[in-house]
Amino acid sequence: MKITHLQTRFILAGGSLLLMTVLSGIWSAFTFAHLSKAAGKALQTSRDVTDLTAILSNALEREDDAILLVLNGDREKGQQELRDERRRFNIAYKDLLGTLTQPNEKRALLALGRDAGRYRAAGDGVLNAAGQPDWAATYLQRVNPALRQAVADCAAIRELNFRSMRAAATLARDEAWGATIMVTFISAIALVISSLIAVLLARSVLIPIQELSSSVEAIRTGDFDRRVQTITDDELGRLGAGFNRMAEALAEFRRSNLSEVLRANETLEATIAALPDAVIVIDPEAKIVTLNRLARALMRATGAENASRLEELPLPASDIGAIGRALSGERQSEMRSDFNRALTVSLDGRQSKFILTAVPIPEFWPKKFGAAAILSDVTDFARLDELRMELVAVASHELKTPLTTLRMNLMLLGERAENLSARQHEILSTALIGCQELAATIDELLDLTRIEAGQLRLARDVIDLYGVIDRSVASLRQRFEDASITVKVESVYRPARVIGDPARLGMVFTNLLSNALKYTPRGGTVSVTVGAAPANNGGGSKVHVVVSDTGAGIPPEFRERVFEKFFRVEQQNGRLATGTWGAGIGLYLCRQIIEAHGGTISCNIGNEGHGTTIDMILPTADLPA
């Protein structure tokens, strides 16, 4: 009968092994129980024989002592002991007769009975001759030899019993050895049969599984013509037949769709290659998958043509971090316009600048993001930015001289203003304020050009931030009062000493307060708070300055971009008619100056979710108060 179920095979194999184990165990238990019982019985018989022969020998000796006691004159006591010992001898003799099983031992016991009878007859004879002068000689000649013979018969019985025990022990040893050999033989046969069953069972299971595994691996590597050859009638055979049907369906699908897939892949490759930007596709494991022609040229130009992983790309750490965030699904809001951080590469003898845009690719793998690193050529834009900065620098320098002349003339006119009317005094003061503001703007533009050229120099000194803040507040107080806006300075940390350039830090606070003034409605509040920075802001003591307002606030997507050069929120959301003005360089200068002082600046939401908060962290001078 052919077995077509794996479960039936396992049950039969396991049942066979269990049956052999049970039968072997039952036979072994029966054999050793029999040996144990026989050995126990032999030991008990030997012990009984030894005890009874000892009683017989002792009874004979005590009986002889009783005879001597009678002969020496103590007849009553001697007669009583003689009767007791003979009775004890008879009981032990009867018990020993029922215990002995060997014929030679029974013959020795009968001989003991005869010799004990002769001894008793001789003893009775000498007792009858008690009082005669020759009783001692009669005792020595007839009674004592008979006693010695009876005692010797007891010893002979014991010796025969010892010999029987040795023979029984030898027999038990031989039987145990034979049983051990038989158990070992049966166990060996059971082991061989078990091994054969296990091997046959394993072959019937493992060979089809190995064939199926190798076929699966072949399908995985693209060999869709591979089929399972070992087909049985059990569950594994049906699984193999199902695999062959699946492989046939996959091969058919591949044949019918391969051309379409190839065409789609070629189209995708051609599309990526035709893009004017350098494109690098990265999979969820941060491995480089595809590069278009321009990207390969960039890799060769930077000596990274063999790069295979994200961290091997010749990009700044900030760009690597942006790609890493794209791999986690975070989308970059916009391409940054900070050309100072652009990747500069020499291509075809021309210095080119590239700015990265990291774009996440959803479902690159199931439930995992890939990323496309797009390096846009911004060389022309960077050149335009350079030209713009050159224009700003030239214009600033050209405006500074006539502005200085204008301010000096206005100041001289103010010294001779006794003939001017009140209205003319007001016009003169307004003109001077306008000149001062224009001079501050020109100074900012000049600082901007110095920063872009890397030539910004700070006049460092130990200063108290409260003095710098108070001067900035005082310069703008009239404008705050005209706008009905409250400005206040809250001191939590005194003294706030830092090593810095008081003029540049004053420019920072003036810019921040001016921005807060522009975007805070009438009746609002602008506050400056100075406190100790949290301990997790790096080593050393630091001061935390917060400038907050109660205006409309800045959308979250623009809070980082407000520090970019020439960036204005109004230009992004279309709110140009707000009545505010500015060039978009104030916060850019603030960040550059604060970072030049070794600090940080960030834009956050205001208190209770309203307005805007500018947070600054500056290292202190670490001087005693």
- Average pLDDT (213-229) is 73
At 388 the pLDDT is: 64
- CA-closest candidate to residue 69, choices 61, 58, 79: 79
Architecture, CATH, for domain 384-451: Orthogonal Bundle (1.10)
At 576 the pLDDT is: 42
- Every domain range in the chain assigned CATH 3.30.565.10: 458-619
Pick the CATH number of 275-377 from 3.30.413.10, 3.30.450.20, 3.40.640.10, 3.40.50.80: 3.30.450.20
pLDDT digits (tens, 9 = 90+) for 350-382: 888 888 888 888 877 888 888 888 888 877 776
At 441 the pLDDT is: 72
Spatial distance between the Cα atoms of 329 and 323, rounded to a whole number of angstroms:
10
* Residue 460 and residue 504 in contact, taking contact as beta carbons nearer than 8 Å: no
Beta strands in 263-318 (DSSP E): 278-282, 288-291
For residue 377, the SS3 value is strand
92, 94, 100, 104: CA torsion to nearest 10: 100
- CA-closest candidate to residue 303, choices 295, 314, 317, 293: 314
- Average pLDDT (479-508) is 88
| Residue 44 pLDDT greater than 90, yes or no | no
* Lowest mean per-residue pLDDT among 369-373, 476-480, 536-540, 584-588: 536-540
Architecture, CATH, for domain 458-619: 2-Layer Sandwich (3.30)
- Every domain range in the chain assigned CATH 3.30.450.20: 275-377
List the CATH code of the domain at 28-176.
1.20.1440.210
- Every domain range in the chain assigned CATH 1.20.1440.210: 28-176
pTM of the full structure? 0.46
Spatial distance between the Cα atoms of 32 and 26, rounded to a whole number of angstroms:
10
Question: Average per-residue pLDDT in the chain?
Answer: 78
pLDDT digits (tens, 9 = 90+) for 394-430: 666 666 677 677 777 777 776 666 667 777 777 777 7
Q: What confidence category does residue 625 fall into, taking pLDDT thresholds of 50, 70 and 90?
A: very low
Of all residues in the chain, what percent carry a pLDDT higher than 90?
Answer: 8
- CA-closest candidate to residue 242, choices 262, 215, 277: 215
